[in-house]
């Protein structure tokens, strides 16, 4: 199921020969078709590494994100997601490897103006009014006053905080702070926006708004690099994902390829004899068993009525049969070893 890494052809500023060698040397390559077609990636890393003393946070990451893609960067707590983004933002130095944004080396000032970033622990100048806070960030981006005014109005409207422009940030709720953080990340109308857990504090309505916002950004041709734990949300918006565990990519690919047509069927069976149970698990993958409840993996839809027949033929009483598509959560749980250390 794991898509093979694809090599990028020579694009402007693309270290494709090094990439080729690194991929041949066996490092995890995460790349998209468009990148293979020679388009300069929006984000590209080559064997990127970060250690803190003995602790390896990122263990040789090679990935490429195409322009216009919504890329989901997933992994359990401590997997290294934020460390990667911080390196890309030039906030911490890699211990090894290289990275490029929009074809330019990280830290290039010309690129900084073209990217937006919502850090995971965003610190706010709480005494500032929302409008003043955005003014401040707009001036950090080097935006001219008239452009700043226009964009502040636009981003406040985008995150639904227009009527809070004069309120001080210390009066904001957690979710409102997260919204203003997203507004800040979009202020300079960036080509790539990095969002590190943008919806963790939001209510369901707020999450949906951010999801819609991400879709809007995609429609405008922007690239979104999304770190998130909220797998159901990632499933709804991302084109491609990489799952990181202990600083390494353990699975990557287009969501539709990763999840494919795989389905699972949960059965509640009365009079479940050992023979019936064995027959079902031999014919279909047994994903989970809990007393009289079995979860089986099925490859094609026709397996579903066939399973019902086997149960009845085997003397079982079928109290429930629920078929569902394999979710990103199922995939995540199956490829990730454990949580935080």
Residues in touch with ligand ATP (CB under 6 A): 52, 55, 57, 75, 77-83, 120
**Closest residue to bound Mg ion by CB:** 82
CB of 299 to ligand ATP, least distance (A): 33
Among 31, 32, 82, 228, binds Mg ion (CB under 5 A): 82
Residue number, 49 or 81, with CB nearest to Mg ion: 81
Bridge partners (DSSP) listed for residue 116 = 193
- The site partner of 319 among Mg ion, ligand ATP, none (C-beta below 5 to 8 Å per kind) is none
Stretch that binds Mg ion, among 20-28, 34-42, 79-87, 280-288 (CB under 5 A): 79-87
DSSP 169: G
Q: How many residues bind to Mg ion according to rule CB under 5 A?
A: 3
Residue number, 90 or 260, with CB nearest to ligand ATP: 90
Residue number, 245 or 303, with CB nearest to ligand ATP: 245
Q: Quote the CA–CA distance of 84 and 92 in Å, as a whole number.
A: 9
DSSP 340: -
Q: Quote the CA–CA distance of 257 and 244 in Å, as a whole number.
A: 18
Q: Contact letters (x/-) for Mg ion, 87-126, by CB under 5 A?
A: ---------------------------------x------
- The site partner of 93 among Mg ion, ligand ATP, none (C-beta below 5 to 8 Å per kind) is none
- Asked if 83 interacts with Mg ion (CB under 5 A), we say no
CB of 76 to Mg ion, least distance (A): 10
CB of 74 to ligand ATP, least distance (A): 9
Backbone angles phi, psi at 176, to 5 degrees: -70, -35
- Asked if 228 interacts with Mg ion (CB under 5 A), we say no
Stretch that binds Mg ion, among 18-26, 81-89, 97-105, 245-253 (CB under 5 A): 81-89
- The site partner of 14 among Mg ion, ligand ATP, none (C-beta below 5 to 8 Å per kind) is none
Residue number, 60 or 75, with CB nearest to Mg ion: 75
- Contacting residues toward Mg ion, per CB under 5 A: 81-82, 120
């Amino acid at each position: 199921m794991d898509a093979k890494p694809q090599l990028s052809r020579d694009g402007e500023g693309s270290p494709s020969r090094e990439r080729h060698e690194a991929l041949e040397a066996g490092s995890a390559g995460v790349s998209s078709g468009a990148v293979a077609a020679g388009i300069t990636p929006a984000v590209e890393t080559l064997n990127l590494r970060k250690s803190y003393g003995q602790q390896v946070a990122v263990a040789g990451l090679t990935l490429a994100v195409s322009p216009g893609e919504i890329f989901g960067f997933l992994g359990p707590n401590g997997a290294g997601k934020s460390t990667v983004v911080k390196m890309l933002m030039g906030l911490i130095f890699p211990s090894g490897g290289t990275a490029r944004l929009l074809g330019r080396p990280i830290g290039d000032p010309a690129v900084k103006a073209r990217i937006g970033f919502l850090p995971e622990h965003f610190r706010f100048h709480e005494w500032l009014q929302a409008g003043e806070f955005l003014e401040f960030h707009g001036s950090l981006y080097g935006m001219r006053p008239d452009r700043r005014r226009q964009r502040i109005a636009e981003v406040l409207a985008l995150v639904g905080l227009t009527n809070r422009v004069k309120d001080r940030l210390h009066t904001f709720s957690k979710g409102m702070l997260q919204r203003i953080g997203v507004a800040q990340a979009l202020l300079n109308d960036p080509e790539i926006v990095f969002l590190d857990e943008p919806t963790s504090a939001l209510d369901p309505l707020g999450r949906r708004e951010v999801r819609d916002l991400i879709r809007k950004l995609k429609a405008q041709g922007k690239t979104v690099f999304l770190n998130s734990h909220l797998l159901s949300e990632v499933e709804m918006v991302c084109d491609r994902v990489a799952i990181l565990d202990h600083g390494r990519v353990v699975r990557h690919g287009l969501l539709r390829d990763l999840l494919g047509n795989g389905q699972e069927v949960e059965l509640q069976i009365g009079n479940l004899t050992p023979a019936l149970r064995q027959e079902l698990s031999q014919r279909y993958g047994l994903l989970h068993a809990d007393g009289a409840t079995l979860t089986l993996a099925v490859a094609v839809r026709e397996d579903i009525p066939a399973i019902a027949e086997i149960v009845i033929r085997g003397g079982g009483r079928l109290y429930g049969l629920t078929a569902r598509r394999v979710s990103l959560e199922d995939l995540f749980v199956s490829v990730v070893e454990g949580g935080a250390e």
